[in-house]
A = this chain, B = another copy of it.
Amino acid sequence: MYDEQRKYLAKAEESYLRVALVIEYDGTNYCGWQVQKNGVSIQQKIEEALQKALGRRTAIHGSGRTDAGVHALGQVAHFEAQTDIPADKFFYVLNDLLPQDIRIIRSYEVADDFHARFCAKGKHYRYVIHNARAKGAVNRLYSMFVPVPLDMGRMEEAAKHIEGTHDFSAFCAAGTDIKGTVRTVDEVRLGRDGDYIIVDVVGSGFLYNRVRIIAGTLIAVGKGKMEPAEVKEAIDKKDRTLAGATAQAQGLFLVEVFYTAL
């Protein structure tokens, strides 16, 4: 009897799996990543698909939240399950059960101590600005439209002030309840693709709305409404009101989450 039990437990242990998912989503029709009372969230849709696949409620843990309308090319989440489905097959199984605007790009087994949020070493966000005379139709949900010509040189100068380790109080949504606001931005890189200005922000320990405030501030500098040096001043004075407005959600993409060992 004990032997039987041991065998059973050994088998259970064997089939106990921790799986990471890399997820692309179009945030247009969702209230954001996290489960909320009002509106449908991306996390909820994936948990519902997982429940259908596994036959039981299973929670997933994302690398962090994204707001309503924000998109992801490579959000990461993990879950634990007792299942015979191989980790790399969840990619197929879940895509069959998910709506077309949420796609699992990859699924793979991770170590028992992997946690999508706590093990994340950094993130790559992208902000897309459509800088043209006329607003577009095709990219309207995937960029912020700015009809005023933007000076890329000024924006690049301002971006340099943001890079580095700073107290980012000025670039953090007011009322954010977190311990300390000192964070590191490794890179703020600007690029142009036709009428689009692409702002890539790579860093660790992101603060709520930081990338959207960085984008809004760079837009203000590009328009000539702020001087590049005033960006440094906003950081030094830790004053949110000295930075630019929070840029629109639909221009933001979570591109990649970095982990030391994948």
Interface residues of A (CB under 8 A from B): 24-26, 71, 73, 91, 95, 100-106, 134-138, 140, 142, 253
Closest B residue to A103 using CB positions: B137
Binding site of A, secondary structure by majority: helix, strand, loop or mixed? Answer: mixed
Q: For the complex formed by this chain, how many copies does it contain in all?
A: 2
Chain B residues positioned under 8 Å from A25 (CB to CB): 137-138
Contact B26 A100 (CB under 8 A): no
Closest B residue to A28 using CB positions: B138
Closest B residue to A91 using CB positions: B134
CA distance A56 to B26 in the complex (A): 40
Selected contact of A134 from candidates B101, B103, B137, CB within 8 Å: B103
Chain B residues positioned under 8 Å from A95 (CB to CB): 134-135
A135 to chain B, nearest CB (A): 5
Chain B residues positioned under 8 Å from A135 (CB to CB): 95, 100, 103
Closest B residue to A106 using CB positions: B134
A206 to chain B, nearest CB (A): 20
Chain B residues positioned under 8 Å from A137 (CB to CB): 24-26, 71, 100-103
CA distance A26 to B25 in the complex (A): 19
CA distance A24 to B111 in the complex (A): 49
Closest B residue to A23 using CB positions: B137
Chain A to chain B contacts (Cβ below 8 Å), 25 pairs: A24-B134, A24-B136, A24-B138, A25-B137, A25-B138, A26-B137, A71-B138, A73-B138, A91-B134, A95-B134, A95-B135, A100-B135, A100-B137, A100-B140, A101-B137, A101-B140, A102-B137, A103-B134, A103-B135, A103-B136, A103-B137, A103-B140, A104-B134, A105-B136, A138-B253
